[in-house]
Amino acid sequence: MVRNIYEGKKFPKVEMPSCPIERKLKGQTAIVTGASSGIGKAVAIAMGHAGAQVIVNYNHGEDAVYKEVIPEIQRCGSKAIGFQADVSKEDQVLAMFAQAKKEYDTVDILINNAGLQQDAAFDEMTLAQWQKVIDVNLTGQFLCAREAVREFKRRGVRKEISCAAGKIICISSVHEVIPWAGHVNYASSKGGVMLMMKSIAQEVAPYRIRVNSVCPGAIKTPINTAAWATPEAEKELLKLIPYQRVGEPDDIARVVVWLASDDADYIHGESIFVDGGMTLYPGFATGG
């Protein structure tokens, strides 16, 4: 078992700043997939706070979309619509992009966030569990990214809006590099996202389309409640996090807004880890 070298030590408690209100994305349209909860919900709201008009995609969780996400985006003066689509279904993804163009003329930013886990020991994993996770986490990102690139190439750069013709941000995971026993389907999907993102980035760069990933560590959302909901579980989890706090959805949202903005215009084909140091191999902190 990994010893927690941080246990018992006193660390300062730091207040989190609230979401950015600087309107860095004014005039741009963003599609955020899986935005009815967790990271997607926080990202959709932060995009709206930053001035973008937002297509709030969901498969389930209509209530949160229409009662929380859209009203919060509108409250700060941005536009938003909800759109139900299963990102693993080609016809539904095409319909979502068609609706976005009908409503807001074009799309500038895609946040490929929708994802799920279906965990099982490897020799007990069913083909259905394998396929479901690959379909949503990898094929879903492919389908949405392809539609985004088609639109970005068609429209090209509008200098008054952004230096780039379009931005794609894939929400990957630390598990694009950290193997994860009991989650072979999930880790494979995120490893796939890494090379999909980098290959698309290499191909579309000359069109001034920027493609990157944000790789969260452990963030408090419904996908992993069991890992942080009790003090015992959180204590176990903190053994893996040198920064000694579990992440919040806003930790990811702030980075996504910045990465989508022209402040990050020269960042391309990168996986940006937002993980409190989880990828620093904390088990080796005592010297190995």
Closer of 165 and 238 to ligand NAD (Cβ) = 238
Q: Which is nearer to ligand NAD, 162 or 273 (CB)?
A: 273
Choice from 51, 166, 216, 282 touching ligand NAD (CB under 6 A): 216
Q: How many residues does the chain have?
A: 288
- How is residue 170 written in tokens? 């894939």
Strand order in the sheet with 166-171: 80-84, 53-58, 29-32, 109-112, 166-171, 209-216, 271-274
**Angle between helices 140-155 and 184-204 in degrees, nearest 10:** 10
Report 113-132 residues binding ligand NAD (CB under 6 A). Answer: 113-116
Closest contact distance (angstroms) between CB of 197 and ligand NAD is: 13
DSSP-derived pairing of the beta strands 29-32 and 80-84: unpaired
Using CB under 6 A as the binding rule, whether residue 87 contacts ligand NAD is answered as yes
Whether 216 and 39 have beta carbons less than 8 Å apart is answered as yes
The residue within the footprint of ligand NAD, chosen from 93, 209, 218, 253 (CB under 6 A), is: 218
Q: Which of 38, 51, 191, 192 binds ligand NAD (CB under 6 A)?
A: 38
Catalytic site residue from 186, 207, 243, 266: 186
> Would you call 104 a catalytic residue per the annotation?
no
Can you tell me which of 164, 171, 196, 259 binds ligand NAD, judged by CB under 6 A? 171
Tell me the site size for ligand NAD, rule CB under 6 A. 30
By CB under 6 A, which span of 14-22, 28-36, 122-130, 196-204 interacts with ligand NAD? 28-36
Of 86, 108, 176, 250, the residue at the interface with ligand NAD (CB under 6 A) is 86
Task: Tell me which of 224, 236, 270, 274 binds ligand NAD, using CB under 6 A.
Answer: 224
Binding positions for ligand NAD, 58-77, rule CB under 6 A: 58-61
Query: Which stretch in 29-37, 100-108, 197-205, 230-238 sits in contact with ligand NAD by CB under 6 A?
Result: 29-37
- Binding to ligand NAD by residue 37, rule CB under 6 A? yes
Q: Is 29 in the site for ligand NAD (CB under 6 A)?
A: no
Which of 20-28, 55-63, 97-105, 161-169 is the region at the interface with ligand NAD (rule: CB under 6 A)?
A: 55-63
- Which one of the spans 36-44, 145-153, 195-203, 278-286 is the region binding ligand NAD (CB under 6 A)? 36-44
User: Which is nearest to 186 in space by CA: 248, 134, 224?
Assistant: 134
The answer to whether residue 223 forms part of the interface with ligand NAD (CB under 6 A) is yes
Residues annotated as part of the active site: 186
Interface residues with ligand NAD (CB under 6 A)?
33-34, 36-40, 57-61, 86-88, 113-116, 136, 140, 171, 173, 216, 218-219, 221-224
